[in-house]
Amino acid sequence: MDLDALRIDVDRLVGRLDALGEIGAVHGPNGERGCARLALTDADRDGRDLVVGWMHDLGLDVHVDAIGNVVGVRAGDDPTLAPVMTGSHIDTVRTGGRFDGNLGVLGGLEVVETLERHGVRTRRPIAVAFFTDEEGARFQPDMLGSLVYVGGMSLEEALDVRAADDGARLGDELARIGYAGPVPCPAASAPHAFVELHIEQGPVLEDEGVTIGVVTGVQGISWTELTITGQSAHAGTTPMRLRRDPGYVAAEITAGVRAIARQMAGTQVATVGRLEYVPNLVNVVPSRVTMTVDLRNTDEHLLQQAEHRFASLCERLAADEGVTIERRTLARFEPVEFDARMIDRVEATAQRLGHSTMRMPSGAGHDAQMLARVCPTSMIFVPSANGLSHNIAEHTDTADLQAGADVLLQVLLALANEG
Ligand SMILES: [Zn+2]
């Protein structure tokens, strides 16, 4: 048969998305259908059981590893060749949607089912994985399962992580829900390649009217918490020249980091997301302000440049206003660049299928960035309606689901048939 003409069955894919979405379903007042399946809860177990059942139905060889990552393998014709892997996660945040993560896993199963129904064999095995605790909503860090899978964190350390909500130990919760598997983790060998289908979780594709995002990498993240301390004073009696006002400094920093991002242009973004005044009263110059600055860039060198400019801004303002500024790093991840040939392959495949494409970095973290440490990796993005994600109103149109899963099918097919 003509493999290039092979397409997935989007109704079957939507059927599985809906069925999985019923587990931990959260219904909104305006008909929204979201999901709450925090990692290693009973709901997560029920979701895992459903997906593992589907893997068995499709004849996959299912492996559960020591951190609870699940990999279903469809055999290839040459057992000596490493598998091509796809997948994502099925845990969600408390106010999650039905597509984030789930699409990548169920899209992978849909590819397998399409191959099965058409009797298509491949040289290499095809593996569909879901990784434990991608969201980090209950156990930090996020992307924990894939991080351990690639050897970026020791199994022992990961099993000892405590839940942010109830203090439960990750290893105990894993055993409780029956997913402390026998397969060693980190994995003994790397896949031939990894491709992850995911919703964009942002507004760019919809805004540009583009169907397929060709993901070039994942942004680096630098989070800083600032504590600015000045002198509390009467708002009426203290002349401007005698003030040491942390509120004013916080405003200058807010405007300043935006100016840095605008001057640097490119992919640099800067956000002040949290700002707390003490004592927060109308007629008092504040004594202290706590705030956060989130800087991101796809280029490590440029991210460091933004960090330096931000640091000098703080030093200058502290000296000018006579306040002290304490800086504390909350998170720091270097950017990840995906494999150039894998990026080209996703782009060429999407274009061959007649879809509009644009290259873009991912603003959010994904399991693919961990897999990129051990094998050639790339991602396929599809649009998120209104740019919403981590929100029960999260939605992706059926036509876009079809497009994304078809690109995944064709990319996996090509990879699975190469030597
Ligand atoms: Zn996700």
pTM value > 0.85: yes
Quote the ligand 1 centre to 383 CA distance (angstroms). 14
Quote the ligand 1 centre to 143 CA distance (angstroms). 9
pLDDT in tens, 29-53: 999 999 999 999 999 999 999 999 9
Quote the ligand 1 centre to 318 CA distance (angstroms). 39
Hey, which bits of 60-176 come out as E strands? 61-64, 70-74, 84-88, 126-130
At 382, the pLDDT band (50, 70, 90 cuts) reads very high
Dist. CA 364–CA 296, nearest whole Å: 10
At 211, the pLDDT band (50, 70, 90 cuts) reads very high
Count of domains for the chain: 2
Strand 357-362, strand 212-218: pairing? parallel
For residues 226 and 283, membership in a common domain is answered with yes
Quote the ligand 1 centre to 53 CA distance (angstroms). 22
The string of DSSP codes covering 1-18 is --GGG----HHHHHHHHH
Quote the ligand 1 centre to 181 CA distance (angstroms). 23
pLDDT in tens, 252-304: 999 999 999 999 999 899 999 999 999 999 999 999 999 999 999 999 999 99
Domain region containing 104? 3-218+336-416
Quote the ligand 1 centre to 97 CA distance (angstroms). 10
Quote the ligand 1 centre to 119 CA distance (angstroms). 31
Identify residue 121 by its one-letter amino acid code. R
Task: Say if residues 333 and 352 touch (Cβ distance below 8 Å).
Answer: no
Dist. CA 26–CA 398, nearest whole Å: 21
Quote the ligand 1 centre to 136 CA distance (angstroms). 10
Return the pLDDT at 137: 87
Quote the ligand 1 centre to 101 CA distance (angstroms). 4
Return the pLDDT at 165: 83
Quote the ligand 1 centre to 281 CA distance (angstroms). 40
- For residue 238, the domain's CATH number is 3.30.70.360
| Mean pLDDT (whole number) for 99-117 | 98
**Where does residue 289 rank: exposed (0-12), middle (13-18), buried (19+ CB within 10 A)?**
buried
For 116-125, b/e burial (b = at least 16 CB within 10 A) is eeeeeebebb
For residues 213 and 224, membership in a common domain is answered with no
CA distances from 66 to 174, 181, 186, 228 (A): 9, 5, 9, 45
For residues 206 and 239, membership in a common domain is answered with no
| Mean pLDDT (whole number) for 115-140 | 96
| Mean pLDDT (whole number) for 183-210 | 97
Task: Say if residues 220 and 335 touch (Cβ distance below 8 Å).
Answer: yes
Structure tokens at 33: 């259908």
Task: Say if residues 296 and 220 touch (Cβ distance below 8 Å).
Answer: yes
User: Locate tokens 């059927």: which residue?
Assistant: 15
Quote the ligand 1 centre to 236 CA distance (angstroms). 51
For residues 308 and 348, membership in a common domain is answered with no
Report residue 100: phi and psi, to 5°: -55, 115
- For residue 127, the domain's CATH number is 3.40.630.10
- Boundary residue ending a domain (333, 364, 393): 333
For residues 363 and 286, membership in a common domain is answered with no
For residues 267 and 314, membership in a common domain is answered with yes
Task: Say if residues 378 and 368 touch (Cβ distance below 8 Å).
Answer: yes
For residues 409 and 312, membership in a common domain is answered with no
For residues 209 and 67, membership in a common domain is answered with yes
Vertex 146 angle, CA 82 and 385, to 5°: 105
- Boundary residue ending a domain (287, 314, 333): 333
Quote the ligand 1 centre to 14 CA distance (angstroms). 17
